[in-house]
Amino acid sequence: MNIAVLNTQIPFSSGGAEVLAEDLIASLRERGHKATLITVPFKWHPQQSLVDSILACKLMDIDGINGVKIDKVIGLRFPAWLLEHSDKALWILHQHRAAYELWETQYNDLASMPDGGRVRDLIFNQDNDAISTCKKVYTISHNVSGRLLKFNNIDSGVLYPPPRSMEKFYHEEYGDYFFFPSRITPMKRQELVIEALAHCSPSVRVVFAGTADDDKYLEQLKQRAVELKVTENITWLGHISDNEKLQYYAQCLMVIFPAYDEDYGYITPEAMLSSKGVITLTDSGGALEFVADDVNGIVVAPDALLLGEKMDRIWSDRSLSKLYGENALEKIVSMDISWDRVIGSLL
């Protein structure tokens, strides 16, 4: 079968969405299908550019290209899933979040645009029309499915994305650092972890891995660490290779993942595959579908003092990290996350 995967492209930005699309295509090809990726550049500033992106997707014809018929499409992100096709399934990573769950938060930019409310209504209407006509609708987590039901009154199934190279994750020890691998951006809340360090004992260490969406924001974080006198407690790795990531997971004490209302977050299952518990927050979204407080990790309110106290507790009692890590591995194995399940459902 000729299958096209539809994804939104933000030039010079790469993260979990790009990994998922690449792995989905590879998995389709492994099962004998001809699969290709169709990406749509997405620009949402100014608001007219966002409207133009919607129109561009509505006007594209992808039934057949260069004499090759596309039998099926799988849409991942807005506005790419607005491309019309007679056999379309959705595996929704997230909707245009500024129009939905971020509308009344500090992370929203659409509401401040001159006609933000009208553009939001347009997005709602286009999503309702496009999603309701799809033969199969899945999301990557119960968190994303909950939003779809709340805002669009559309039911959906859940297919958790398998972390890349699941079989390669391993465990070595419960070492002397908390590991926080993620893009460096406000919604991942690295700043909260830096502030939490100010409430920890002087020996507590955090290793951050990942590149910054904005270099100025990274400099602000480093300056905040200076102000709080915790620079010696922090290591900034920047971009690391896949093998290095596996090693840092394998040797850390626990993993910290405090992102705000995360859609899914590869970091949580990756940590668990490495026999590591996860510290997350009560409003971190997708991570809460994996982490049970004081069972395979820690769930704490988004408060620097409370987070620091939990980190200090783990640091001073290493037996807890071992207990959480063993339970975390058992949990992730029991969930049976696999590409066979994903492909079988989507097709």
Q: So what's the pLDDT on residue 215?
A: 93
Query: To 5 degrees, how large is the angle CA 285–CA 319–CA 271?
Result: 35
Q: So what's the pLDDT on residue 16?
A: 87
CATH superfamily, domain at 2-159: Glycogen Phosphorylase B; (3.40.50.2000)
Span 317-323, average pLDDT: 96
pTM (2 d.p.): 0.94
Average pLDDT of the chain to the nearest whole number: 95
pLDDT for 13 beyond 80? no
pLDDT for 11 beyond 90? no
Q: Give the lowest-confidence range in 28-37, 109-118, 256-265, 272-281.
A: 109-118
Query: Is residue 315 very low, low, confident or very high in pLDDT (cuts 50, 70, 90)?
Result: very high
d(CA 5, CA 281): 33
Q: So what's the pLDDT on residue 59?
A: 93
Q: So what's the pLDDT on residue 198?
A: 97
pLDDT for 44 beyond 80? no
Span 252-259, average pLDDT: 98
Cβ 90 vs Cβ 138: under 8 Å: yes
Q: So what's the pLDDT on residue 114?
A: 86
Sketch the domain layout of the chain as residue ranges.
Answer: 2-159, 166-334
Span 184-208, average pLDDT: 97
pLDDT for 140 beyond 80? yes
**Tally of CB atoms within 10 A around 257:** 29
pLDDT for 291 beyond 80? yes
Query: Is residue 63 very low, low, confident or very high in pLDDT (cuts 50, 70, 90)?
Result: confident
Query: Is the CATH code 3.40.50.2000 the one for domain 166-334?
Result: yes
DSSP state of 175: -
- Which amino acid belongs to residue 87? D
107 exposure class (CB count in 10 Å sphere: 0-12, 13-18, 19+): middle
- H/E element holding 250? helix 242-251
Residue with more model confidence, 246 or 42: 246
Q: Give the lowest-confidence range in 57-66, 123-132, 159-168, 289-298.
A: 57-66
pLDDT for 152 beyond 90? yes
Fold matches, 2-159 and 166-334: yes
